[in-house]
Chain A
Amino acid sequence: AAGVIQSPRHLIKEKRETATLKCYPIPRHDTVYWYQQGPGQDPQFLISFYEKMQSDKGSIPDRFSAQQFSDYHSELNMSSLELGDSALYFCASNREGGSSYEQYFGPGTRLTVT
């Protein structure tokens, strides 16, 4: 079965650079969630989109922005990167009306800021 795809899987950037993370949800899933998981930490909800509109916002820094496109894929744009942004970034997808337990997670993008 198709799963959530994230790219790139690994990314190394320097401080103050920008990064773009991509997420391709499971086919026919129209809701996308972004999470940040620091080393040894629990995943923290950043932002979510439903039908290309932002549906909820969590602890996402102002330096980050995200959007969902017409094909339902989503991109997380991160600017002025800081060392503390080094983390695993997960995307999860869900179908309309699906409950939270029906979120399927991608493999994550590991971002390292040096």
Chain B
Amino acid sequence: QKEVEQDPGPLSVPEGAIVSLNCTYSNSAFQYFMWYRQYSRKGPELLMYTYSSGNKEDGRFTAQVDKSSKYISLFIRDSQPSDSATYLCAMSRLTQGGSEKLVFGKGTKLTVNP
């Protein structure tokens, strides 16, 4: 079983829709929970990060973490065509060497249609 599971989609929604992206994880040692946006042929770009259970809002984006269920979500309100990208969840944990390691989900490809 992979440490982080994410439905790859693809997900296609009309402009203005609310988008819900989700990941589950199996390792309770994860500390930080991130969402990255990756446009085609570009590197991942950090959108949001959270540390504890609960919600964190930034503009049209809300990140939600439920540590008891090992489940994280990213909500996008009033989605725009420019939001079309692949969204990767990522989580970090300490390695045996004491450094932080990022573990990514497979990414969900989102298309917002005008």
Contacts and interface: CB of A to CB of B under 8 A. Distances in A.
Interface in B95-114: 95, 97, 99-107
Interface in A29-88: 33, 40-45, 48, 50, 55-56, 58
B42 A42 contact: no
Contact of B102 (A4, A50, A55, A103): A103
B59 interface: no
Contacts of B4: 42
Contact of A99 (B8, B95, B100): B100
Interface string B67-102: 000000000000000000000101010010101111
B18 to A, nearest CB: 25
Interface string A1-45: 000100000000000000000000000000001000000111111
B101 A55 contact: no
A90 B44 contact: yes
Interface of B: 4, 6, 8, 32, 34, 36, 41-46, 49, 88, 90, 92, 95, 97, 99-107
B92 A108 contact: no
Nearest to A105: B43
Residue of B36, B43, B49, B95 most packed against chain A (CB within 10 A): B43
Interface in A85-114: 90, 92, 99-101, 103-108, 110
13 contacts: A40-B8, A40-B106, A41-B106, A42-B4, A43-B104, A44-B104, A56-B101, A99-B92, A101-B46, A101-B49, A105-B45, A108-B41, A108-B42
